[in-house]
Structure 1
Amino acid sequence: MEWYRLNNEHDVDSPALLVYPERITHNIELAISMIGDVSRLRPHVKTHKTAEILQLQLDAGITKFKCATIAEAEMLGVCGAPDVLLAYPLHGPKVARFLALVPRFPNTLFSAIVDHEAAAGHLSAAALTAGVAINTYIDLDVGMGRTGIRPGEDALHLYRYCATLQGLQVRGFHAYDGHVREIDLAKRKAICEDNFQPIQHMVRTLQEEGVTSPRIIIGGSPSYPVYAHYPDVECSPGTFVLWDKGYGDTLPEQKFLPAAVLLCRVVSTPGPDRICVDLGYKAVASENLLERRLHFLNAPNLKPISHSEEHLVLAAPADHGYRVGDVVYALPIHVCPTVALYNQLTVVKAQRAVGTWEVAARTR
């Protein structure tokens, strides 16, 4: 029997997102082995948003985490994660919500990012009012053009400015390079080295000024194998824990296993050469082109031809043989936003659906 298939599939409502704990554990162990020192691994929890998967990471000795939302930070606090970086700019009501986590979860060290003096000043004032001190990282833009400040003198000035602010404890630099996606590992390495050199130069400059070892948190899944070999750098991949078809195709050197599978059903056969399944774009991430949203495991002869909220219409051979009610399994191309579409994950052990895990940081 194929690894993904359930022998009680007819008991599972669809669409469903199945997860396989043994494969998740394998992926966690592989990620740790790639970096050697588990204290340098700071996985992003945006991929899974799930307390049970977080607990598997904690059980493996991972103590540092990264997140993108207050809900994810809260989940990390509830689960007792020792060290949490909220790697998203804090503005408006999010500042107070973030600061409220500090006294609520005293055993968790929360950190934030800033990329502008005004944001740093506002966070400092709010922290003083709340009577707390917040670890802070300067968010760097290393080419993605999304958030952050470019490495160089302006970033050094912001670091020095933050060091003068009460309520903040500036600790180092944070950089995300999600734009680095070259399949060729040698090309990827060269780009990562070019991104890292100006950060390394800033760290040396600050050390010469007497600053004690500014930390560097950098990278995502594509660059993880590169930065894992850099000493004293924390790496923050996220997708590895569940993996997906997208990274499986573009990062061939990484041997993580797909650990999340979509289960859907044929709900109609509107023509002799087409079928319809219950996997609309409410059930699978749909930011990619139609042909790059999912990969069918047990039905490679099906090709998407239209997609709507509740339906996915597929071209099929004239003699396809599919019947209403047939179960089809697929890998998501992009698992992170696919997980965010589900309130719960269906847990699979020994090829049986045995229960569910709440996607806790989605619903808070």
Structure 2
Amino acid sequence: MTDHSPITIHWFTIDNVDKLDTPALVVYPDRVQANIDLLKTMIDDVARLRPHVKTYKNREVTQLLLDAGINKFKCATIAEAELLAICKAPDVLLAYQPVGPKLHRFIKLIHAYPQTKFSCLVDNDVAAKEISDAAKRYEISIDVYLDLNVGMNRTGIAPGFEALQLYMDCAVLPGINPVGLHAYDGHIHDIDLEKRTERCDAGFKAVLKLQQDLHGKGYPEPVIVAGGSPTFIIHAKRKQVQCSPGTFVYWDRGYEVGIPEQLFLPAVLVITRVVSLPDATKLCLDVGHKSVSAENELGKRVYFLNAPELIPTGQSEEHLVVEAGKGHHCQIGDVLYGIPHHVCPTVALHERIYTIENNTLTSEWLNSARDRKITI
């Protein structure tokens, strides 16, 4: 970005960027569509896809997925579930165990959107009983998936005897209907695909055994929902497993580098401007913690496509200071195009995302499910 010769038009260049205040999140819909099309070529049956809405959080991408023949979805919040229901998604799994007020909101959701089939997770008897009592009280039946801990160590019950017993307990509780097993292995993200596959297969063995044990006891064979983006192509080879990648629609720098065999296109960028020149070698940009995910170390938050040489040295709520080196030609107002290292929480920081079509700012999509509540 260092010279001011005539601008080279790249895929990401915004011709009318002077109309865009920064920091801003922008999306390239043609690249989103290309990513959806690519995903469908990576699995034998589109019916086995259950993408996670947490990455994009808006109606427009949901509609693109529905138009592509994808009818099953996964989400983590009541707002995300309601967004999907508003779009008339047929099948929505709340990949969370609803307890307390969240359970009551979940029940309201089921009543408010009867055209959508909702299900949720459970990993203990106490929550299972609470869900059962609520379902019985409101005279409904709720499908539940047993949440299995295959190494994430945050929620879930280890696949084995206790999990078998919990599934059987759920089967006799009124108002709930155990239908499957949920195994999220997000802790597995080795760059080397062979190593990633080895770890994924090792963790999945106990899940498969639990499925077989339950079927052997006379239960309908439980559906298995497994994996995220890093293990998607591994689970996609298992003929009966539903796969739930999420990041593929937008992609990001973390997966671009960390999962090189998946050739999805970065489709979302954070746009920022140089707002100050603190000294002869540094730039200050208007992209702080409030506009790009900051859970990673400083060097893994945003990668600038038109200035990859910049080295971040400090970040606060509204600013990012970068080292540009001696003799740089950057000026106040220069525009930078950055790929977020982690796009999912970055999207959650922005109430809207601006669409770029044919290198032109055209419209905006509301990230309505970034809020904790839409109507319920």
- Asked whether the two chains share a fold, i.e. TM above 0.5, the reply is yes
CA RMSD of aligned residues (A): 0.7
1:75 aligns with 2:45: no
1:39-78, Cα deviation, whole Å (9 max, x unpaired): 0000000000011011100000000000000000010110
Q: Equivalents in 1 of 2:190, 2:299: separation in Å?
A: 21
Aligned residue in 1 for 2:46:
38
- TM-superposed deviation, 1:97: 0.2
In 1: Cα distance, 2:194 partner to 2:311 partner: 34
- 1:275 is aligned to 283
| SS of the residue 1:190 aligns to | helix
How many Å separate the matches in 1 of 2:176 and 2:40?
A: 31
Selected match of 2:120 from 112, 122, 126: 112
**Secondary structure of 1:295's aligned partner:** strand
Q: Find out whether 1:311 has 2:305 as its counterpart.
A: no
| 1:261 aligned counterpart, secondary structure | strand
TM-score by length of 1: 0.99
Counterpart of 2:172 (choices 136, 151, 164) is: 164
Residue identity matched to 1:255 = L
Matching residue within 242, 246, 255 for 1:238: 246
Match of 1:302 among 299, 310, 324: 310
Measure, in 1, the Cα distance between the counterparts of 2:100 and 2:328.
55
Residue among 262, 274, 285 paired with 2:293: 285
**1:227 pairs with one of 227, 235, 243:** 235
Q: Name the stretch that deviates more: 124-133 or 135-144.
A: 124-133
Please state whether the residue corresponding to 2:70 is helix, strand or coil: coil
Paired letter, 1:213: E
1:210 to 194, 218, 222: 218
**CA displacement at 1:143 relative to structure 2:** 0.7
The 1-side partners of 2:27 and 2:44 are apart by 26
**Amino acid corresponding to residue 138 of structure 1 in structure 2:** L
> Please, which of 297, 311, 324 is the counterpart of residue 332 of structure 2?
324
Helix, strand or coil at the partner of 2:55: coil
* Count of residue pairs brought into register by the alignment: 364
Find the counterpart in structure 1 of residue 265 from structure 2.
257
Give me the whole-angstrom Cα distance separating, in 2, the residues matched to 1:336 and 1:32: 21
Alpha-carbon distance in structure 2 between the residues aligned to 1:351 and 1:130:
52
The structural deviation recorded for 1:132 is: 1.1
Contact 2:38 2:264 in 1 (8 A): yes
What is the distance in 2 between the residues matched to 1:266 and 1:258? 23
Measure the CA separation in 2 of the matches of 1:128 and 1:159.
Answer: 18
Taking structure 2 as the reference length, the TM-score comes to 0.96
- The residue number in structure 1 matching 2:185 is 177
Cα offset, 1:36, TM superposition: 2.0
Within 2, Cα distance between the matches of 1:225 and 1:56?
21
| Identical columns (%) | 49
User: Offset at 1:301?
Assistant: 2.0
**Secondary structure class of the residue paired with 2:188:** coil
Q: Which amino acid aligns with 1:341?
A: L
2:3 paired residue number: none
Letter in 1 for 2:203: N
Residue 11 of structure 2 aligns with which residue? Answer: 3
Preserved CA contact (<8 Å) 2:183 2:207: no
* Aligned residue in 2 for 1:354: 362
Matched residue SS, 1:148? coil
Amino acid across the alignment from 2:323: A
Question: Would the aligned equivalents of 2:123 and 2:146 in 1 still touch at CA under 8 Å?
Answer: yes
Question: Residue in 2 aligned with 1:18?
Answer: 26
Identify which of 137, 141, 152 aligns with 2:160: 152
For residue 43 of structure 2, what is the amino acid of its counterpart? Answer: I
Question: 2-side partners of 1:330 and 1:213: how far apart?
Answer: 46
CA distance, structure 1, for counterparts of residue 217 and residue 308 of structure 2 = 60
Q: Give secondary structure in 2 for the equivalent of 1:271.
A: coil
Instruction: Report the secondary structure of 2:18's partner residue.
Output: helix
